[in-house]
Amino acid sequence: MPYQPPIPASYTAMDPVETADRIRAHKKRFGRRLVILGHHYQQDDVLQFADFTGDSLKLSQIAAEQEGAEFVLFCGVHFMAESADILTDDSVKVILPDLSAGCSMADMAAIDQVEEAWDFLTAATPEKIVPITYVNSAASVKAFCGAHDGACCTSGNARMVLEWAFRQGEKVLFLPDQHLGRNTAYAMGISLADMALYDPHEPDGGLTAGEVVAAKVVLWKGHCSVHQLFTPAQCDEIRARDPECRILVHPECDWAVVEKADLAGSTEYILRAVEGSPPQARWAIGTEVHLVERLAAQHPDKTVRSLAPMQCLCTTMYRISPPHVLWSLDRLAAGEVVNRISVDPRTKRLALIALDRMLANVSPEPATAK
């Protein structure tokens, strides 16, 4: 993860009202030349400045549609800013207000590890392996999939992409989230016994050639440090305490949690499920806490709470703060583009192939229910 030098102390010491006023003044001055994007998991103190909110891919697609945009300030994490750079015109400069806002899951699959794994897996079996990467991955990993007849997927369309992959080959390598891969493959009828787990920190991923031959899906041993915090015991505890409460979790949660939940789906699915539920509905939700708290505030007629008793927040995304946003915009106004996230042309081209294969093989309204 790139190093973020401390911003001047005057920014962190500034009164929050002054910080907000100055950010709004910048937005007015830049007008359409500046687009601020805020991910669903972002804190409200930052989200208040966003022109658009959404998940990572949707935000990048929105950025690409903005006529006259010269600068995209992405209040998300590193891989999201990379995706925005991949999808926007070359003239658009994408800025991440704090370079230390990375993603623990994306960082669990470095491109050299993926290449090493590919060499081992393809030598172990003569069958065709199709690499699929969750969009929560580095641009280099997306490009790898683009270069090896693979594709990207989101949590909302993973099933459709896996179905496409099994029309292209006999096996799938699913990167970097083992849980999304396992939950999706299981929902498609693939047994746990037909899945193998590749650990990039073990020689040959901790697998024998025979285990690779036997597997239909090879899962990369990566996970989201936020969704990993939800447990089956929390589901049992909610059921015992509040039998009417429905449990709704993100498919980045462990398989055992998804099994115990009433529903599992992407962030968009979670939003739609709560919005579409009747007044007085009761929900325990297994996803990032800022999203859950915002849903609770937006639906005072319903009970919406986190599945976990502790705060499950994306600590890296949380590093982006109003002072960092203001600092980036002050530098921009002074003619200096700080913290630009730029993907090299070859990686961009190959990553786009993986993204385009995904988009060509999914319906516009993906089914995300468990």
Contact status: 225 vs ligand SF4 (CB under 6 A)? yes
3-42 residues near ligand SF4, rule: CB under 6 A: 41
Q: First CA to last CA across the chain, in angstroms?
A: 34
* Cα–Cα dist 78/23, whole Å: 22
Cα angle 41, 47, 48; round to 5: 155
For CA atoms 123, 124, 128, 131, give the dihedral sign: negative
| Closest to ligand SF4 by CB, 83 or 316 | 316
Site for ligand SF4 in 300-329 (CB under 6 A): 314, 316-317
Residue 271 interacts with ligand SF4 (CB under 6 A): yes or no: no
Token pair 């849980």 in the structure block, residue: 179
Identify the residue among 50, 86, 224, 291 touching ligand SF4 (CB under 6 A): 224
Identity of the residue, 223 or 348, whose beta carbon is nearer to ligand SF4 in the bound complex:
223
Please state the closest distance from residue 303 (CB atom) to ligand SF4, in A. Answer: 24
Q: Which stretch binds ligand SF4 (CB under 6 A): 164-172, 191-199, 218-226, 234-242?
A: 218-226
Nearest to ligand SF4 of 224, 249 (CB atom)? 224
- Let me know: does 267 contact 55? Beta carbons within 8 Å: yes
Q: Where are the alpha helices (DSSP H) in 125-243?
A: 139-147, 158-168, 178-187, 209-214, 232-241
Residues recorded for the chain? 370
Is residue 84 close enough to count as binding ligand SF4 by CB under 6 A? no
Residue with smaller CB distance to ligand SF4, 51 or 55? 55
Comparing CB distances to ligand SF4, the nearer of 136 and 328 is 136
Question: Which SS3 state, helix, strand or coil, does residue 282 take?
Answer: strand
Name which of 247 and 313 has its Cβ closer to ligand SF4: 313
- Least distance (Å) from ligand SF4 to the CB of residue 316? 6
DSSP state of 203: G
Q: Which of 23, 46, 77, 285 binds ligand SF4 (CB under 6 A)?
A: 77
> Shortest Cβ distance from residue 178 to ligand SF4 (Å)?
12
Least distance from C-beta 117 to ligand SF4, angstroms?
20
Residues 6+ apart with CB under 8 A from 143: 346, 347, 348, 349, 350, 351, 354
10: exposed, middle or buried (Cβ count in 10 Å: 0-12, 13-18, 19+): exposed
Least distance to ligand SF4 from the beta carbon of 286, Å?
12
Nearer to ligand SF4 among residue 122 and residue 225 (C-beta): 225
Q: Give me the DSSP letters along 6-70.
A: PPPHHHHHS-HHHHHHHHHHHHHHHGGGEEEEEETTS-HHHHTT-SEEE-HHHHHHHHHH-TT--
228 binds ligand SF4 (CB under 6 A): no
Give least dist CB 287 to ligand SF4, A. Answer: 8
Query: Taking a C-beta distance cutoff of 8 angstroms, is the pair 251, 180 a contact?
Result: yes
**Contact footprint for ligand SF4 (CB under 6 A):** 41, 77, 103-105, 136, 224-226, 288, 314, 316-317
